[in-house]
Chains A and B, each alone.
Chain A
Amino acid sequence: AQSVTQLGSHVSVSEGALVLLRCNYSSSVPPYLFWYVQYPNQGLQLLLKYTSAATLVKGINGFEAEFKKSETSFHLTKPSAHMSDAAEYFCAVSDRAHETGGYNKLIFGAGTRLAVHP
């Protein structure tokens, strides 16, 4: 069965500092991997996704993530945090096998709440 583990339910950084949010996955087949961001009272917004092309994936708002098969990781980074980055971030995995059925059944981690302080 697929699963996602996000290390650290809360991460706090200073404005301008590096953001690193950790995600490890478990999957019996090559996965698709996703990072979503959730702002208060809003729906989840896709930041970036890995679908077996380049292992370094660039997303919106300056975020990027690197797929490391040997470490079963897909950590999210941003070189310089901004106050507007404060939100909850979710890593998700999808079993590619479902592609044959035509849809991505997303399995989410528990989330990491990012706080950015001045």
Chain B
Amino acid sequence: GAGVSQSPRYKVAKRGQDVALRCDPISGHVSLFWYQQALGQGPEFLTYFQNEAQLDKSGLPSDRFFAERPEGSVSTLKIQRTQQEDSAVYLCASSLQGPDTQYFGPGTRLTVL
């Protein structure tokens, strides 16, 4: 079956622009995670959804970062007024339930100029 998909795969933004990154989880997966992976580093947790509820947003680096999953399926990570330090690969993962194996999408590479 289809895995986790993310769009766009690549995004170039000028500093100060707003961006929106989309994640389509595996159908039926209750749990959805966002991670940020800076160049040469491992992924870092940003936020967690159980269905439409955002239960953990402890990893969001600033109030410029906002995530939503309004119908408990597709999720969007929005970054307002992008800064150069926001340049990274943003990974989305989903799992059937919270404790289950997380399946990762290919990521969106964001470059802020």
- A-side residues, CB < 8 A to B, are 4, 9, 36, 41-46, 49, 90, 92, 98-99, 101-111
Q: CB distance B40 to A41 under 8 Å?
A: no
Assuming the contacts A43-B107, A101-B55, asked whether A111 and B4 have C-beta atoms less than 8 A apart, the reply is no
The answer to whether A105 and B106 touch (CB under 8 A), given A43-B4, A44-B91, A99-B99, is no
Q: What 6 pairs across the A-B complex have the smallest Cβ distances?
A: A103-B98, A108-B42, A43-B104, A102-B98, A44-B104, A43-B106
Pull 7 A–B residue pairs with CB atoms less than 8 Å apart, ordered by A. A9-B40, A46-B103, A92-B42, A101-B56, A102-B98, A106-B33, A106-B102
CB pair A105 B101 closer than 8 Å: no
Among B40-69, those with CB < 8 Å from A are 40-45, 48, 50, 55-56
- The reply on B3 being an interface residue by CB < 8 A is yes
Interface centre among B4, B42, B56, B98 (most CB of A within 10 A): B42
- The interface on chain B, measured as residues whose beta carbon lies within 8 A of the other chain's beta carbons, has a size of 28
Is B25 at the interface (CB under 8 A from chain A)?
no
Q: Is B31 an interface residue (CB 8 A)?
A: yes
Q: Among A41, A92, A104, which residue has its beta carbon within 8 angstroms of that of B106? A: A41
A43 touches B98 (CB 8 A): no
**Residues in A neighbouring B55, C-beta threshold 8 A:** 101, 103
User: How far is it, in angstroms, between the C-alpha of A107 and the C-alpha of B105 when the chains are bound?
Assistant: 17
Is B97 an interface residue when CB atoms closer than 8 A count as contact? yes
Contact at B104–A110, with CB atoms within 8 Å?
no
CB of B101 within 8 A of CB of A46, answer yes
Chain B residues in 8 Å Cβ range of A108: 35, 42-44
A107 lies within 8 A of B41 (CB) = no
Distance of A44 Cα from B106 Cα, bound (Å):
8
